[in-house]
Amino acid sequence: MNLKIKRGARAVLSLVLTSSFLLPPSSLVWAAHPFITDDSGTQGAGNWQLELQGQRNRHSHSANDGTGPVNQERKPTLLTGVLTYGLLENLDIALGLNHLRNRVTENGIVTDDASGISDSSLELKWRFYEKDDFSLALKPALSLPTGDENRGLGTGRASWGVAFIATAESGPWTFLGNVAYTRLRFKLDQAAAETRKDLWRLSGGATYSIVENIKLVGELGVRTNEGRNDPFQPGNYGQFAMLGAIYSPTKKIDFDIGLRKGLNRAETDMAFLVGAAFRW
């Protein structure tokens, strides 16, 4: 098996495999941090929200091409700002901007190290059903090609996705569920050949209020592995779990922290998540 993937394609592949903010696998939509699974909540007409998010991934695996083992380590760092505005009580529009540093080493030698603005996102969230403590929403989204695909900071073409969202509340518990689809598009032929285009995600999560301003959060999910025949991240479907907490000193401010763990080799090993949200 040839492990010498071309530099540009490998960088783009690493971006897509590990950027759960920029292109959450099987969904372009943003979720309430530190979740991938989104909820049906909206800001309300005329209200704003600014989310600041950070993510550091680590994926380290070895593969053998017959001449000896190669250990590849991917350590992308993604910083994100998402500005959301309530168009209606049940309809939001959001713009996400991203800065990515994508670093890859093989046997301790740096093979990719790029940093800069990556692809952006534009999305809508429409809560179309609400009764008692149960609600449903749809969230279509676009990924905008604002990153340099030749440096592994973007895909070079617009992609799109949509998520179906369900939320239920019961006392201190809130339960979330998503079914999401993404269609990826690439400008570089090599990146397109190395990557699956039709991506799905099925995930669920829950929050539990232990006191008025602190919530414990958890999540489980399965999603399409974007890499096609990637020896360092093999398999068709990645499985993941996340544990974290959200602290809300006021009703207008949230701080969060989380740790996402891959449960099989088709998923990124580990992601450390931090974020903050401000509403007005």
Residue that wins the pLDDT comparison between 280 and 26: 280
Angle at Cα 154 formed by Cα 96 and Cα 235, nearest 5°? 105
DSSP the chain: ------HHHHHHHHHHHH-TTTS-TT-----STT-SS-------TT-EEEEEEEEEEEEEEEEE-SS-EEEEEE--EEEEEEEEEEEETTEEEEEEEEEEEEEEEETTEEEEEEEEE--EEEEEEEEEEEETTEEEEEEEEEEE--S-GGGTS--BS-EEEEEEEEEEEETTEEEEEEEEEEE--BSSHHHHHHB-SEEEEEEEEEEEEEETTEEEEEEEEEEE--BSS-TTS-SSEEEEEEEEEEEEEETTEEEEEEEEEESSTTS-SEEEEEEEEEE-
8-12, 195-199, 227-231: segment of lowest average pLDDT: 8-12
pLDDT at 18: 46
- pLDDT category, 15, cuts 50, 70, 90? low
CATH class of this structure's domain 7-279: mainly beta
CA gap 15, 13 in Å, rounded: 5
Indicate if the pLDDT at residue 153 is higher than 50.
yes
Q: Mean pLDDT across the stretch 15-41?
A: 64
Inter-residue contact 254 to 277 (CB < 8 Å): yes
CA gap 135, 206 in Å, rounded: 15
What mean pLDDT is reported for the chain? 88
Q: What is the pLDDT of residues 51-94, one digit of tens each?
A: 999 999 999 888 876 667 889 899 999 999 999 999 999 999 99
pLDDT at 62: 87
pLDDT at 67: 67
CA gap 246, 216 in Å, rounded: 7
Highest-confidence segment of 7-16, 25-34, 38-47, 222-231: 38-47
Q: What is the pLDDT of residues 233-249, one digit of tens each?
A: 889 999 999 999 999 99
Q: Mean pLDDT across the stretch 260-276?
A: 95
- pLDDT category, 3, cuts 50, 70, 90? very low
In this prediction, what percent of the chain has a pLDDT beyond 90? 70
Report field, pTM of the whole predicted structure over 0.85:
yes
Strand partners, 92: 86, 125
pLDDT at 61: 85
CA gap 111, 105 in Å, rounded: 5
Indicate if the pLDDT at residue 274 is higher than 70.
yes
